[in-house]
Each structure stands twice: as C-alpha cells, then as structure tokens.
Copies of this chain bind each other. A is one copy, B any other.
C-alpha cells in the first residue's frame, strides 16, 4: 500500500541508520508516530543538537563537542603511546578493556581504493603531522583484523617506521575462553605463528 508522503519520507530517512532495512524502518516509523511521539520529538532535537555541537577532536579525530576530546585533554594520559583505530566505537571498546592509558588516533574508515578512500580520507596527513611533533614513541596499530584493516595497518606502519618510531600491531590469536575445537582455522594459524615463550 502507498503510505502518506511524510510517512514514506520518514521511513526512507530511517533506512540511513546502520543495519536498518525497509521492514525495520517501517516498524520504527510507526512506533515513533504512534505511542512514542515524545521520543520522536526528543530524537529530532538530539539529532539537530548533535549535528551542531559534535565535531572531531583536533588532535585525534575522535567525536567530541570541544576542540580536544576528553582523552586528549586528560593530563594523566601518556602522550608517548598512540593507538590507531578505525572508528570511534573502537575507542570505546579499547577504553572498556581498561588496560590502556595512552592516546588514540581515529581513522574513520580504512584504506579502500575502489571506494575512493585513500590516505587523505583516513587522515594519514594529520597522523604524520602528529608523529612529527615528536611526542609519540610507539604507535599501536589496532585496526580491524580484516583484509582492509591489515592493509591499512601495513601502510601506516611504514609511515611510522620511516620516522624511527616503534610501530606495533595488536596480537591476534585464540579469544579468551575460546576452545580450539571451535576456533576457525585462520585464527588458529595466526595463534600458532604468534606463539610466545612462557
């Protein structure tokens, strides 16, 4: 059936959300316009306010409402350690592991030449400028363990190495609590390759 135009537009707009297909978008639109009208108002306002207030941290490109994000402006953070991640969600994930006290650099993607994403788009120039400023002693490349993530880590690793700075990659292997029987063969091969002495 044909929806009213404002309803169709809302359904289309909701499909911009990650992981939302036509059926879920319709369900969300009906929910917002049925009982949850207060929620719809709040969401529209939060989107407008977020768009106006949230930008990227000048140093690490994390999403923030200030010039420097809360991590870059925290004096307790070790400026000599820099963890390079693909997305703001990765910063949250590493922070939740609670073992890291350095700073971050957010690429907002990975190298993907076919999609027009080159070094410019992932902020390689800003990263190089940060490295040239002289504070950083080690760069931890924590991009995803995918083909694109590995390629991005490899590319950035070279930019880091030519400056005489230590470049490291996060370890890959069997996840904690993982049983060998159920771990995929690629992971197991990496775990064997990267074995460490006890």
**How near does chain B come to A99, taking the closest CB pair, in angstroms?**
13
Given that A1-B71, A26-B89, A30-B87 are contacting pairs, would A50 and B9 also be in contact in the complex, using a CB cutoff of 8 Å?
Answer: yes
Main secondary structure, interface of A, reads: helix
Please indicate the chain B residues that have their CB under 8 angstroms from the CB of A65 in the complex.
Answer: 4-7
CA distance A69 to B5 in the complex (A): 12
Q: Which residues of chain B come closer than 8 Å to A5, judged between CB atoms?
A: 65
Give the interface size bracket for A toward B.
35 or more
Contact partner of A4 (CB less than 8 A), chosen from B2, B14, B63, B109, is B63
State how many angstroms separate the Cβ of A87 from the closest Cβ of chain B: 6
At the interface, yes or no: A29 with Cβ under 8 Å from chain B?
yes
For the complex, is A134 an interface residue (Cβ under 8 Å from B)?
no
Of B6, B24, B46, B71, which is within 8 A of A53 by CB? Answer: B6
Q: Are B42 and A44 in touch, CB under 8 angstroms?
A: no
Residue of B nearest to A18 (CB): B31
Contact with B along A51-65 (1 / 0, CB 8 A): 111100000000111
